[in-house]
């Protein structure tokens, strides 16, 4: 039985909200397509928990991307989570360079230093324009970087705890709702102090289901806990999307691939699914589609 769940909650009578997530199976499945080295797998786990918590906190339909790009041991790391908490992950890295890093390497270490690396959060709503925010990539944990980003870019006071170890992934987010300054700061101060005490063990313990984590973290506080949601791995690749990409790449590109390999083979970077086209199948993508006869 899966332990995976994301549970939103509010403090009763106070302008504090949040969510707690455990996503061991979802992260394992999302990371299964590649043999990620340990420091990268840990960071991808933390980014996955963060992406699920952020996606769940937003009222939107579409995808949220957290993307690290740099010129260091890790050139690219992408976590995509949509409004239904469907998650997928990919990365590009230099195996030798990553193996020289400590297990607790920071995002900045992985990306080769803060100077020419960037962490972007992109919202791609199905019914609206793209929105992108850039997270300052200073020293510090993934959670600390995102807390700073939420406070400075989104004007949302937030506390975030993330943990990823031994195939287990968890996270806890609390946010102070805007416009609630006049009702007293005590609940927020209490929540923030409680977050100071959250450990990786508390988030990842074998007996740590999300409601138990909430009850222990905010003991004595009246919480309203909403129905659990289930994060899961799901790739959005499909034959139609691959064929569209080949059409965009163009007939010249496709002929070059056929000349080299005798076929066209595309591997999805997220899930590892392989799409193979014979010369006839590949060329048919560029044939004019005959008009459909009226029914
Ligand atoms: Zn895929």
Phi-psi region of 112 (alpha: psi -120 to 50; beta: other; left: phi over 0): left
Q: How far is the CA of 34 from the centre of ligand 1 (A)?
A: 12
CATH of domain 239-284: 3.90.1280.10
pLDDT mean over 55-72:
93
Whether pLDDT at 205 is above 80: yes
Q: How far is the CA of 65 from the centre of ligand 1 (A)?
A: 16
Q: Residue 255's pLDDT is what?
A: 95
Q: How far is the CA of 182 from the centre of ligand 1 (A)?
A: 48
Residue 73 structure tokens: 């041991």
Q: How far is the CA of 24 from the centre of ligand 1 (A)?
A: 20
Q: Residue 180's pLDDT is what?
A: 59
Say if domain 5-233 classifies as CATH 3.55.30.10. Answer: yes
Q: How far is the CA of 273 from the centre of ligand 1 (A)?
A: 6
Q: How far is the CA of 66 from the centre of ligand 1 (A)?
A: 17
Q: How does strand 74-82 pair with strand 86-93?
A: antiparallel
Q: How far is the CA of 162 from the centre of ligand 1 (A)?
A: 26
Q: How far is the CA of 269 from the centre of ligand 1 (A)?
A: 7
**What ranges do the domains of the chain cover?**
5-233, 239-284
- pTM, full prediction: 0.91
Residue 23 burial (CB < 10 Å; 0-12/13-18/19+)?
buried
Give me the chain's average pLDDT, please.
Answer: 91
């Amino acid at each position: 039985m899966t332990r995976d769940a994301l549970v939103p909650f509010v403090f009763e009578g106070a302008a504090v909200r949040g969510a707690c997530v455990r996503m061991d199976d979802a992260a394992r499945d999302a990371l299964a397509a590649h043999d990620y080295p340990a420091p990268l797998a840990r960071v991808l786990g933390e980014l996955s928990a963060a992406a699920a918590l952020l996606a769940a906190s937003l009222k939107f339909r579409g995808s949220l991307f957290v993307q690290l790009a740099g010129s260091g041991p890790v050139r690219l790391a992408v976590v995509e989570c949509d409004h239904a908490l469907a998650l997928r992950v990919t990365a590009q890295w230099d195996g030798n360079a990553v193996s020289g890093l400590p297990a607790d390497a920071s995002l900045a270490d992985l990306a080769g230093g803060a100077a020419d690396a960037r962490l972007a959060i992109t919202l791609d709503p199905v019914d609206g324009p793209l929105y992108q925010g850039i997270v300052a990539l200073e020293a510090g944990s993934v959670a600390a970087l995102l807390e700073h980003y939420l406070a400075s870019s989104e004007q949302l006071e937030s506390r975030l705890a993330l943990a990823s170890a031994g195939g287990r992934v968890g996270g806890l987010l609390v946010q102070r709702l805007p416009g609630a300054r006049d009702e007293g700061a005590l609940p927020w101060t209490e929540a923030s102090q409680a977050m100071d005490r959250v450990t990786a063990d508390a988030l990842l313990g074998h007996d740590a289901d999300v409601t138990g984590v909430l009850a222990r973290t905010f003991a004595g506080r009246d919480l309203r806990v909403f129905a659990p949601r289930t994060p899961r791995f799901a790739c959005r690749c499909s034959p139609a999307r691959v064929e569209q990409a080949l059409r965009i790449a163009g007939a010249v590109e496709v002929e070059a691939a056929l000349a080299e390999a005798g076929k066209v083979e595309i591997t999805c970077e997220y899930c590892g699914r392989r799409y193979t086209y014979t010369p006839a199948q590949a060329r048919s993508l560029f044939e004019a589609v005959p008009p459909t006869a009226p029914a």
